[in-house]
Amino acid sequence: MISLASRDILHGWGKFVFTGIGLGLLIGVTLVMAGVYRGMVDDGKALLDNSGADLWVVQRDTLGPYAESSSVHDDTYRGLLGLRGVERAANITYLTMQVRKGTQDVRAMVVGITAGQPGQVPGWPPYLVAGRQITRGHYEAVADIATGFRIGDRLSIRRNQYTVVGLTRRMVSSSGDPMVFIPLKDAQEAQFLKDNDAIWQSRRRTEANPALNRPGVPGLLDAVLASQSTNPYVNAVLVTLEPGYAPDEVADSIRRWQRLTVYTRAQMEDILVGKLIATSARQIGMFLVILAVVSAAIVAFIIYTLTMDKIREIAVLKLIGTRNRTIAGMILQQAVALGLIGFVVGKIAATFSAPFFPKYVLLVPADTIAGFAAVMIICVLASLVSIRLALRVDPAEAIGG
Amino acid sequence: MRALKLQGRTVAMIAIIVPLVLVFAYVAMRSGPLAPVKVTVVRAQEGTVSPALFGIGTVEARHTHRIGPTLAGRVKRVDVHVGDRVRAGQLIGEMDAVDLSDRVRAQEATLKRAQAGIREAEARQAFAQAQARRYDKLSALQATSEELAITRRQEREIAEAGLIAAREALAGAQSERAALVAQLDNLKLVAPVDGVVTLREAEPGTTVVAGQAVVELIDPASLWINLRLDQVNAGGLASDLSADIVLRSRSAETLPGRVLRVEPKADAVTEELLAKVVFEHPPEPIPPIGELAEVTVALPLVQAAVVIPNAALRREAGEVGVWQVKEGRLQFAPLKLGATDLDGRVQVREGLTEGDEIVLYSERALSRDSRIDVVPSLPGAER
Amino acid sequence: MSIHAGRGIRIEGLVKRYGHGDTAVDALKGVNMHVAPGEVVGLIGPSGSGKSTLLKCLGAVIDPTAGRMTLGDESIFDNGWKVRDLRALRRDKIGFVFQAPYLIPFLNVTDNVALLPMLAGIPNAAARAQALALLTALDIQHRAEAMPSQLSGGEQQRVAIARGLVNRPPVILADEPTAPLDSARAMAVVRILNDMASQFQTAIIVVTHDEKIIPTFKRIYHIRDGVTHEEAGEGRSLSA
């Protein structure tokens, strides 16, 4: 028996292939959509992985430092280092802001990392793609490659100029903003320091306050002003554990003795994935459903049209004794073939277009397989209408009058 | 015949389907988690590390002279302005005397009165002495009674005491006047050293309390930089190391300097070591006090060591090390590290030998089972 | 006219009623026909005479209301179908040739013809050989690899006839097979039908109102108001 479906496809292959490519682009968009969701989840996980921490110590009763703002004193870590099971503890600050380079600016998350050696302090970029790690305690930066910065570029963060000495990759905030790592001291200043006008105004306000500017007490005003321009806070303390200690136990002891809120890796992931991107995830879910429905409608419509074009031939086939199974098989095979072409085109389109999206698009093999199954199911379901139509064709129609 | 007839269509189909399938296979293999990780490698090399410390500080003056009155008072005049150079002993301002001159004049009147008192006491004493002498002679001749002679002697002693009192009153009046005159002199504000005026805090007519400065002077030759260094990055800091100073406002210019001393007290709050760095030659013009300066302190060279870039350092299972490439497979080598320099070179004390191939940059985090693809440079990172 | 029982196709008292009750219309009111193997008979009648209805009943695509049909030795209808699989009946026992050839556009000439044996389960190669033999008999083997759209009307009709014949059915129903053709090609088709009828001992019923070919039938059934009347045709020679 020859394959009627393949003969039909070969006969009108141009139309079929172009329809398949069109469908493929739609499937590509769907895969990218799923990839965007995976990318968001991965952004969150990358953020946690790259911080290299086992525990996040944050301000009491906050979901910080990523989902809410948090500030703890920058000497808190000394107390943490004294606890059993704590191997290393390092301050870290996060500040999402526009980082300027010349006239352009890039949205980035500025991360203040504790001074030290690479590999010794949590929070440092774990790997680079170019340049070197920060060696000076001030005015050097390691930027994510997604910022578009190059080694040697001069960045402005608040009032200071930073030289980009290294580039890294996939260092992003949970919302996908690329990171710029700078020394902690600078970051604390950047987070706290206002623009110069604001500082002047604040000084003038202090000077106008008779309680702080007393004529009989020389030096009081200077002391007050100095105390106003220091920032002894950081956003979180990253803690790594000595081998053999369970994160939950150490977290409990920190909660109990330091009166701070602590999150373990699992809890942090839950916050990032479960809370931070929950709405976006639902949004993308809606889009996926809509795209699936649209794809199904398009496949159904195309197969329906192809079947309608062949209604006379189907009548003849039935008249000369073709079994229903054969006819249904022909339509089903065409739908599946269309789905296959669409899927292959879609996968290729998604893979090649993914790097061009401004946000990270992660194409997971599991999604691809699920997508393939969905496409096949959609194609089979979409062909049912046409199969039903074809089976209802009266062979008598082939005989005139 | 049949083959030929079909060929046109079949060729067209093959022309579309085959590349599509090939691209699909490529896509499935080369992207996503199955794809190998692109890395660049570098060899550990024998080299020198020129360690240095980097910190920031502010320009400060070693000696700041805050010149003001010793008593509360009103400023009469200030002769210098900010930026003026003054010499030691130069009069730079004066406090208003208010009633001080009047009090001096009153004191002078008192003085004169005391002098008049002396003259009166002297007259009395001379007369009493003459009388006493005469009665002594008469008493010796028995020409008068002993009684009278004793009285005259007593009168002479009283007159002498009166003279001493009058002289002391004069000395008191003279000292008091001298004190007032000294106070008058103290109202003059005089530069104690050669220097530059940095602040003029009170204008004529302003009332200032004792101890409050009217004018602040610094000695430009005594400028130094109060350097702050992260404690973790301050190993090897010592006096007499040479330092390069870059002032914020003159970032193109590197000024030579020297570490004068490392402060015995560190800043516990900011976790910084403090040090003072002096200029080899006083910079001209004088940098403003409080200007930020970036200071690089050179440490002695570390000779002939195995050196790797710090970008290669990773942390794996609690140990710092590098990924070593051996026959195309990855192996983590824990390291003991030595000196580092500001260009990112790290001395390896233990763990690598010269010529070992290590991963420098990678596209993703690596693990023991990562498949790697060694490339000359990573995409997007080339300049 | 001698009628051999058990050969060819025989129809007795065939009735087809559309609708029910008062609105019922009898399209066929007791049709009697018999076509012997190797015989080509004409079936003619004006529009609305019941011609198409009769053809559909014979083709087993609509159900007659009453009567009897016998194909060869087998009673296929006796006030109800006697065979379960009408599709197999159509495929194996009845050949169709239509007014328009209705070839499958995406199959070439050979496969169009070979499709029927393939559907009946004959291996592809054997089915194609069978088709090619028939195409050779119809003198169109040189277009065996062509697609239907590349053929002329006469060629298409010959392929359609080949398809009607390929399963060696005892009966072929031809519905206006010459309508789109000019007189020479129409005569050629009729000649082919006659040749095939005699060669394969097939009973052929040609529904037509083509004046050019009516004189060629030896026997003609006129159908009028749902009733057939048999008459002798002119039986004009086809060799002319």
Report how many domains make up chain B: 4
Name the band, by pLDDT with cuts 50, 70 and 90, for residue B276: very high
Residue B2 included in any domain:
no
Q: List, for residues C93-119, the tens digit of each pLDDT value.
A: 888 887 777 788 888 888 888 888 888
Please, which pLDDT band fits residue B7 given cuts at 50, 70 and 90? low
Whether residue C1 lies inside any domain: the answer is: no
pTM above 0.80, yes or no: no
Q: Which residue's structure tokens are 């600016």?
A: A105
* Phi-psi domain of A238 (left: phi exceeds 0; alpha: psi -120 through 50; beta: other): beta
Number of domains, chain C: 1
- Residue C21 backbone phi and psi in degrees, to 5: 55, -130
Choose one of B237, B268, B300: the last residue of a domain. Answer: B300
- The residue in chain B having the minimum alpha-carbon distance to the alpha carbon of residue C107 is B6
- Phi, psi (rounded to 5 degrees) for A153: -65, 150
Domain containing B198 — which CATH number? Answer: 2.40.50.100
Does residue B5 sit at the C interface (CB-CB below 8 Å)?
A: yes
Tens digit of each residue's pLDDT (9 = 90 or more) over B32-91: 666 788 889 999 888 888 888 888 888 988 888 888 888 778 888 888 998 888 998 888
Q: What is the DSSP string of A123-138?
A: TS-S--SEE----SSS
Query: Which domain, by its residues, includes B230?
Result: 53-61+218-300
Average pLDDT over residues B274-279: 92
Q: Answer yes or no: is pLDDT of C240 > 60.
A: no
pLDDT tens digits, one per residue of C171-214: 888 888 887 778 887 888 888 888 888 888 888 998 888 888 88
Taking contacts as CB-CB distances below 8 angstroms, the residues of chain A near B55 are: 137-138
- Residue C5 within a domain: no
Query: How far is the alpha carbon of A393 from chain C, nearest alpha carbon, in Å?
Result: 11
Task: Output the DSSP codes for B63-94.
Answer: -EEEE--SS-EEEEEE---TT-EE-TT-EEEE
Whether residue A296 contacts residue A385, with contact meaning beta carbons closer than 8 Å, is answered with no
Q: Per-residue pLDDT tens for B296-311?
A: 998 888 777 889 998 8
pLDDT tens figures, C64-100:
888 888 888 888 888 888 888 888 888 888 888 877 7
* Inter-chain touch C96–A398, beta carbons under 8 Å: yes
Among the three residues B250, B285, B300, which one is the final residue of a domain in this structure?
Answer: B300
Look at residue B31 and tell me if it is in a domain: no
Give the pLDDT confidence of A196-220 residue by residue, as tens digits: 778 888 888 888 888 887 777 777 8
C3 close to C70: Cβ distance less than 8 angstroms: no
| A351–B230 CB contact, under 8 Å | no
Tell me B234's DSSP state.
Answer: -
- Residue B151's domain is classified under what CATH number? 1.10.287
pLDDT over 50 at C6, yes or no: no
What residues of C are in contact with residue A323 (Cβ under 8 Å)? Answer: 87, 119
Distance of alpha carbon A53 from alpha carbon A317, whole angstroms: 69
Q: Do A2 and C88 lie within an 8 Å CB cutoff?
A: no
Any domain includes B21? no
CATH number of B256's domain: 2.40.30.170
**pLDDT-wise least confident of A141-150, B8-17, B319-328:** B8-17
> Which H or E element spans position C132?
helix C124-137
Residues of C in contact with B1 (CB under 8 A): 145
Greater confidence (A136 vs B31) lies with: A136
Establish if C132 touches chain A: CB-CB under 8 angstroms: no
Give yes or no for a contact between A288 and A34, defined as CB atoms under 8 angstroms apart.
yes
Give CA–CA dist A205/A214, Å, rounded. Answer: 14
- Please answer yes or no on whether A126 and B315 come within 8 Å at the CB atom: yes
pLDDT for the residue A239: 92
Q: What is the pLDDT of residue B18?
A: 82
Q: Determine the Cα–Cα distance for residues B22 and C52; give it in Å rounded to an integer.
A: 55
Please say whether the beta carbons of C142 and C108 come within 8 A. no
Interchain CB distance below 8 Å, A395 and C61? yes
Q: How far apart are CA B354 and CA B45, in angstroms?
A: 5
**pLDDT over 80 at B213, yes or no:** yes
Q: Burial of C66 by CB count in 10 Å (0-12 exposed, 13-18 middle, 19+ buried)?
A: middle
Residues B330 and B266 in one domain: no
CATH number, domain of C164, equals 3.40.50.300
Pick the closest to residue B328 from B363, B360, B369 (CA basis): B369
Domain-by-domain residue ranges, chain A?
Answer: 4-44+278-398, 60-193+231-259
Instruction: Give the tokens for residue C136.
Output: 């050779």
Among B91, B84, B74, smallest CA distance to B192 is for B91
- Any bridge partners for residue B261, and if so which? B276
Quick check: is C3 in a domain? Answer: no
Nearest to B313 among A119, A183, A351 (CB): A119
Q: How many CB pairs under 8 A join A and B?
A: 136
Is B35 part of the contact surface with chain A (CB cutoff 8 Å)? no
Confidence (pLDDT) at B2? 44
The torsion angles phi and psi of A23, rounded to 5 degrees, stand at -60, -40
pLDDT block averages, 10 residues each, chain A of length 401: 77 82 89 88 85 90 87 88 88 90 88 85 89 89 91 87 91 87 89 77 84 76 78 88 89 88 91 83 88 84 85 83 86 88 89 85 85 89 88 76 48
Contact residues, A window 75-104, toward B, CB-based 8 Å cutoff: 75, 87
Answer yes or no: is B16 within a domain: no
ipTM: 0.77
In a domain, C145, yes or no: yes
Q: Which residues of B touch C108 (CB under 8 A)?
A: 5
How close does chain B come to C96, measured CA to CA in Å?
27
Touching partners of C (3+ C-beta pairs < 8 Å): A, B
- Beta bridge mates, C9: C35, C71
Considering only alpha carbons, which residue of chain B is nearest residue A218? B212
Task: State the DSSP string of A249-303.
Answer: HHHHHHHHHH--EEEEHHHHHIIIIIIISHHHHHHHHHHHHHHHHHHHHHHHHHH
SS3 B300: coil
Residues B227 and B265 placed together within one structural domain of the fold: yes
- With a pLDDT cut of 70, the percent of chain C lying above it is 96
Q: Which DSSP state fits B287?
A: P
Strands B215-218 and A104-113, by their bridges, are unpaired
Q: Which domain holds residue C46?
A: 36-65+87-232
Residue A347, chain B, CB below 8 Å: the answer is: yes
Residue type, B44: A
Tokens of A125: 């970029």
Task: Pick from C145, C149, C150 the residue to mutate for testing the B interface (most B CBs within 10 Å).
Answer: C145
End-to-end CA distance of chain A: 32
DSSP 8-state class, residue A177? P
* Mean pLDDT, rounded, for B111-134: 90
Distance, CA of B275 to CA of B297 (rounded, Å): 11
Residue B213 and residue B200 share a domain: yes
Nearest-Cα distance to chain C for B41, in Å, is 59
Asked if residue B229 and residue B208 are part of one domain, the reply reads: no
> Does a structural domain hold residue B43?
yes
Which strand (E) or helix (H) includes residue B34?
A: none
- Domain contains B20: no
Same domain? B230 vs B273: yes
The closest of A308, A309, A343, A313 to A326, measured between CA atoms, is A313
